[in-house]
Structure 1
């Protein structure tokens, strides 16, 4: 076990050792440790190594300074310039919150970045400021639309968050595919089989072999409807000027940045209903206690509390690798 603070310091030092600037290392480490602390290991510290490898191999500019434009009072357009998506979001965050509170709605539109990491990270932060938020992001093609024999869309996640009075943020974060790419990669590493309906091989045939799935394509959840959502996310994310998933270079191989898009919309619910937070809290409590409904967000809050109390259970090999990279 390692404390959150110690893990943060180690991850930041490793990012600096991989060539990141101070600002990039801070933004990237904050996001990775936040995911790890909430039990999202596939997009936590293990995913940080994808960023560090990408810096070394040229897919990610670890010293890129995002270009920020504000064409209207409520629109923030950010070009990551082959860097990370998190840094541009961090730099406009306070202004984005102020704009949403004042105008009622505000938009962050990012392009030309490496992967966005845990998408829920962006909306959770806005919900903690009393805002309702929706985010979409595309990615290099890894998902086949129903009827297709090859990957056409990214895993194209959506995330949604809303504040509830006196309780954890309602937080929904899920891919348009049957599962996230990083989960398939982890299954391949651990030698585990995939459930039926998650993937096809390179010939377009159904497969439960994660290695064959990585060479083929994932499938959208819910058949055609999941594919429709993947396409919707694609349009929402790429309207920033980002690459379409089909045109995006790989995020795990080569020396070109994927150049993906990220859209985050923030709403001020109190302009519509001053009692929104308390009403949502009462409604979620009823759903959870009376009807036994799983309410997403509670499990991440519980995981975070446990991480604060006990520290993070990070694999010894990963810790040693981080120490080596940190020098």
Structure 2
């Protein structure tokens, strides 16, 4: 049985900040990443919460993340914000540009953010959800090092290339969709391998390109897209948004986020749209539509419900994960 620790969100964030600063993150970087990590846990996204924080701690130690990197923000056009995080993290770059992005979208009707030079982006839905909380419709896309091969292709050419979409409701966000272009997220394969568990058919191939349900063999192979070629098409669209429009590395050119001493240098694209004209009452209409669809038995993505819930008073976190982070950072683990 997995041992769990119960921590308040504040205590969990304080631990994360201490661990990150201990391995070279600036206070601003540590604050941005700790807050994003806790938000992921609050929404039940443990795979991109503290479990993924281990990757950041390890990468700070290995210089895959430059802990002192400061985002450089520019405005090439009134409705475009460019951010170069220069080997740092997307979370800090987005935090620095968030207010300007939100305000420009409301002033102009729409605005976009093109961020490059980043490690992984963590929970992609967080970027879209934060904008929906201000009344905006938001679309976010990101890429990463190659992990996924389209059907019939012998090598990985895309990352899991997720896409996220959020829209406002009458009482907070009415919808949050956050999904990968791959049949599953890489972290799910890695966690299954760590537990010695099999994975479902259709998730991955092994190093020889043969379908496998062995999670360890899958780590030596590639993930597969959901829906075959259609999922690969989505991955390509995401790649163009996240790398093409931002100037970031294409997935094929991105160094690993778990090995070496170079940043993946990948991108994040965010589009924020202000409901105007006939869409002025979008929040109210969307809330009613979600309720109507749910009443008809239509599956509404689970994140839609989580987006509207109040954050829990305490988080139940895996003791082994917190212990690993503490050991990497050379600090005491919570108890």
Structure 1, gaps ≥5 residues long: none
Instruction: Identify the residue that residue 308 of structure 1 maps to in structure 2.
Output: 312
Provide the C-alpha distance between the structure 1 equivalents of 2:277 and 2:103, rounded to a whole number of angstroms: 13
**TM-score of the aligned structures, taking structure 1 as reference length:** 0.95
Show the counterpart of 1:275: 281
Partners of 1:147 and 1:226 lie apart in 2 by 13
Is 1:265 aligned with 2:268? no
Aligned partner of 2:163 among 143, 158, 163 = 158
Relative to structure 1, the CA distance from residue 208 to residue 321 in structure 2 (aligned partners, 3 Å threshold; closer, same or farther) is closer
Contact 2:158 2:251 in 1 (8 A): yes
RMSD of aligned residue pairs (Cα, Å): 1.4
CA contact (8 A) 1:170 1:296 kept: no
Give the distance between the partners of 2:315 and 2:87, measured in 1 at CA. Answer: 31
Q: What SS is found at the alignment partner of 1:106?
A: strand
Pick aligned residue for 1:223 from 215, 228, 250:
228
CA distance in structure 1 between the aligned counterparts of 2:84 and 2:107, rounded to whole angstroms: 25
Whether 1:251 aligns to 2:257 is yes
1:94 alignment partner in structure 2:
99
Alignment partners' CA distance in 2, 1:322 and 1:147 = 39
Q: CA deviation at 1:174?
A: 0.3
Does the 8 A contact of 1:284 with 1:295 survive in 2? no
Pairwise CA distance, 1:170: 0.5
Aligned equivalents of 2:109, 2:173: Cα separation in 1 = 23
Matched, 1:234 2:234: no
- 1:286 aligns to what? 292
Contact 1:104 1:271 in 2 (8 A): no
Return the offset for 1:275. Answer: 1.0
The Cα shift of 1:323 comes to 4.6
Please tell me whether the aligned partners of residues 107 and 265 of structure 1 are also in contact (alpha carbons under 8 angstroms).
Answer: yes
Match status 1:75 vs 2:80: yes
Show CA shifts across 1:191-245 (max 9, x none). 1111111111111110111111111100000000000010111111112111111
Question: Deviation at 1:159?
Answer: 0.2
Task: Indicate which of 40, 44, 56 corresponds to 1:39.
Answer: 44
Larger displacement relative to structure 2 (179-188 or 314-323): 314-323
Distance in 1 (alpha carbons) for counterparts of 2:307 and 2:250: 34
In structure 2, what is the equivalent of residue 16 of structure 1? Answer: 21
Q: What's the offset of the Cα at 1:273? A: 1.8
Q: Is the 8 A contact 2:25 2:68 kept in 1?
A: yes
- Correspondent of 1:319 among 310, 317, 322: 322
SS in 1 for 2:317: coil
What secondary structure does 1:86 align onto?
A: helix
Q: Distance in 1 between matches of 2:172 and 2:267?
A: 31
Distance in 1 separating the partners of 2:78 and 2:201 = 48
CA displacement, residues 14-35 of structure 1 (integer Å, 9 cap, x when unaligned) = 1111110011001111111110
> With structure 2 as the length reference, what TM-score do the two structures score?
0.93
1:164-207 CA-to-partner distances (Å, cap 9, x unmatched) read 11254300000000001111111111111111111111111101
- Report what 1:124 is aligned to: 129
Go from structure 1 to structure 2 and tell me whether the alpha carbon gap of 1:138 and 1:235 turns closer, same or farther (over 3 Å shift): same
